[in-house]
Chain A
Amino acid sequence: MQKQAIFQSKLLPYALVAPQLAIVLIFFYWPALQAVIQSFLLQDAFGLSTSFVWFDNYLELLKDRAYFEAIVRTFFFSFAIAVSSLSFALLLAVMADKPLRGSMLYRTLLIWPYAVAPPVVGVLWIFMLHPSLGVLSRYLRALGIDWNPMLDGDQAAALIILAAAWKQISYNFLFFLAGLQSIPRSVLEAAAIDGARPMRRFWTVTFPLLSPTIFFLLVVNIVYAFFDTFGIIDTMTRGGPGTSTVTLVYKVYSDGLLGGNLGSSAAQSVILMIMVIVLTGIQFRFVERKVTY
């Protein structure tokens, strides 16, 4: 049974949703529509003439090796960020779930990083890991590691993954903690009486029961790694060195705003838009059905 409000007037419900609709239309649909239109246009270098080129911008992208590399890189980043932040958050949540003294404080502190904006996260980690200024860089060098993310692309990538994953740990932690607390205590007690040691209990009971949470977070983390890491990349590496930290979203920005190639940039953003739609579609489909266990 679904709850249904009954309105006397036919106009009132429309009036009530109008503000929300207006915001969505003006700030989401309009720019999206513009991007779609733009992606079919080609401008000359001086911006004097614009011509309609159908799918040429898209076809260009398919032939562009740098774009292909950005796709691979983005997927790799997403995977690395999602896996590292999910596993670390799960570890923290499992520890916070135990009835310990001061667990409230511990939990609160763990939630804080979520409130930090991505660019600030970038600046924070740069302070610690900058090759010449960073506090941690000194120790890394003392350990014999030639730490210089300004020159070494792999190190720069690692830095981005580290900072992005760190920020997402809080969010994941919160959901994992809620997920863990929704597992009935008696089920775990039954498993303990059934002779399952803590590790086995975790892998055979807790983990399967968390699978809906894990799946939900996986999608959220991938979306986050795809789109919300822009601020971190821009403050930390600006896509460099070379193009070693250019992700799809960063490429939209650098090709369009820095490179001035609006047509290609728009085409890239339309492709991203389709990816988001697909990801969200998957999520809705599964969240509604629930991951069955």
Chain B
Amino acid sequence: MANVTLRSVRKTYPGGFEAIKGVDVDVGDGQFCVLVGPSGCGKSTLLRMVAGLETVTGGEIDIGGRIVNQVEPADRDIAMVFQNYALYPHMSVYNNMAYGLRNRGMAEAEIKSRVEEAARVLELSPMLERKPRQLSGGQRQRVAMGRAIVRQPKVFLFDEPLSNLDAKLRIAMRVEIRKLQRRLNTTSIYVTHDQLEAMTLADILVVMNGGQVEQVGNPLAIYEKPATTFVASFIGAPPMNLMSTRPEEIKSQLGGSASDVGILGIRPEDFVITDQTPAGGVALPLTVEAIERVGAETFVYGSREQEEQRVAATPGELPPGEIIVRIPGTEAPAIGAKIRVAAVRAKLHLFSGDGRTRIEA
């Protein structure tokens, strides 16, 4: 049981590349913290620094009230689950789980009881004598989990543990991990690039980009009030619609002090198809370009008739001028139809022109 606190942690590689540019995160005892961000944002590096597998260039890493910058991984009292599981291929499932305990000189009887208990919880009891190569992906994943929990460490570290599993298994294991963590009540740090995984698992969500923390907080709070356009488009699927606007236009429509507003964001689910314009809200005329029906909901892709360009927050986003609208059910306008969508004032997100600041008007 321990807090994990990162204080202005930095990592610069010998080549001069700055992977982590000063990160402050405080994970409370027993909390589940998820680091999320696109690949290359430094989230894995940060996790490996907490594990002691990467050196710390600057700042402090504090686990349970002890600065561990110079402490060997073995002495940090942590356990880590790797993306490729990193099981010992020449050892049986039992020995894989027992290895860490034997290294610490635990009595065989105690090891046996701990491993068997973990195997029971993870439903691995019938395969204790098997080698990792005789197991399926999901079973290997559970062995990796088992290896972590038998140690009863202060902190669990997960490095994209589910990304090698197929979609169905991923969801099942996600739920399992969360249940297990709740039961053991062990402080956990979990790295993923999957925003859905991040939203569902996290007590505290840390959104990272380019070696920096964009936003820290409760996942729903982040979803409802993204601090930057990066967070706005990264959290939530499909991503938030972002449009560049002229301040005076916003001012006239919304009033208040929205003088430096440059970007307007509206989530796809916050639009309704209507002919009316809600007071203080916005309305957009659209031409329907494409329809995606996924059963419970339908996505309408429309292009705006104005010449205003949609601002792409990150490369690879939707083409400029395209707006996604999410509507429940399967009823949808025809392709080519002219529609009008509107969003109420409370659902508008305003950002500064560079997208770095959220503006509460």
Contact = CB atoms under 8 A, between A and B. Distances in A.
B82 A189 contact: yes
Interface residues of A, number: 19
Interface string B88-104: 11100000000110011
B193 interface: no
Interface in A194-230: 194-197, 200, 204-205, 208-209, 211
Interface stretch (B73-81, B236-244, B296-304, B328-336): B73-81
Given A184-B84, A186-B84, A190-B80, A195 B89 contact: no
B88 A195 contact: no
Nearest to B104: A195
Interface residues of B, number: 23
B328 to A, nearest CB: 44
B86 interface: yes
Q: Is the interface of A mostly helix, strand, loop or mixed?
A: helix
Contact of B90 (A189, A196, A209): A209
B53 interface: yes
B252 to A, nearest CB: 57
Given A193-B51, A196-B103, A200-B103, A293 B89 contact: yes
A192 interface: yes
A190 B82 contact: yes
Nearest to B153: A193
A190 B53 CA distance: 10
Given A193-B79, A195-B74, A196-B103, A205 B88 contact: yes
Interface string A281-293: 0000000000001
B90 A293 contact: yes
Given A189-B53, A190-B80, A195 B100 contact: yes
A208 B82 contact: no
Interface string A163-200: 00000000000000000000010110111111111001
B87 interface: yes
Contacts of A196: 74, 99, 103
A230 to B, nearest CB: 38
B97 to A, nearest CB: 10
Contacts of A209: 89-90
A192 B99 CA distance: 11
Interface of A: 184, 186-187, 189-197, 200, 204-205, 208-209, 211, 293
